[in-house]
Amino acid sequence: MTAKKFLIPFILASLTGHALIIALTVGIDKSGGPTPERVMNVELKTPTEIEPPPVSARSEPAASADRTAEIGDYREDSIALQNPGGPYEAYLLQIRRKIDDLWSYPPQALSEKQEGNAVIRFTIDAGGALAGYYVTASSGSPILDEGALAVIRAASPFAALPAAFNLSRLHVTATFRYRMEQR
């Protein structure tokens, strides 16, 4: 009986070791075929409620609570880049396409496997020029934040605001979602 009790810990250790080896080898591809490539996913996403930056960090006048500010002949509006069905839908689609064509994962962030969501607010004046831009919510990576800001700079100037908008400025908020996914 004592000899059997002596063997029990060794048997349990052996079973645990074998179970661990089996668990670790389940994910190994034994076919010898090519391994799937690592896919990176970069997508623009509509931002959820975002707190505006402190007043000292803003580079442009604040809009009123109803989202549209109007002072004399000076009118401005704020909108998310993805605003399906909104009054600026066609114009925003042009901007989004221009940004999508230029946007890529920053190489350094890719090599360091950095991920995050950078929320950028940029302002387009009536002539289509970039009047201001800043990070409203950091991705947690300065490289990703700067990548998002760089694509906004590169995409400008944008098309002039259509006269039907009757706006002096349009403030656009965009979320740049950087994700690396294994397929």
56 Cβ contact list (under 8 Å, min separation 6): none
What are 160-182's pLDDT values in tens digits?
999 999 999 999 999 999 998 75
The domain locations on the chain are: 38-48+63-182
pTM of the model: 0.61
- Yes or no: say if 181 and 39 are a contact pair by the CB < 8 Å rule: yes
CA distance 170 to 174: 13
CA distance 152 to 148: 7
Question: Rounded mean pLDDT of 75-93?
Answer: 86
CA distance 119 to 177: 9
What pLDDT sits at residue 40?
45
Residue closest to 95 by CA, chosen among 55, 178, 154: 154
What pLDDT sits at residue 57?
40
Residue-averaged pLDDT of the chain: 77
Question: Rounded mean pLDDT of 98-109?
Answer: 93
Of the two residues 147 and 14, the one the predictor is more confident about is: 147
Classify 38-48+63-182 by CATH class: alpha beta
What are 14-23's pLDDT values in tens digits?
877 776 677 6
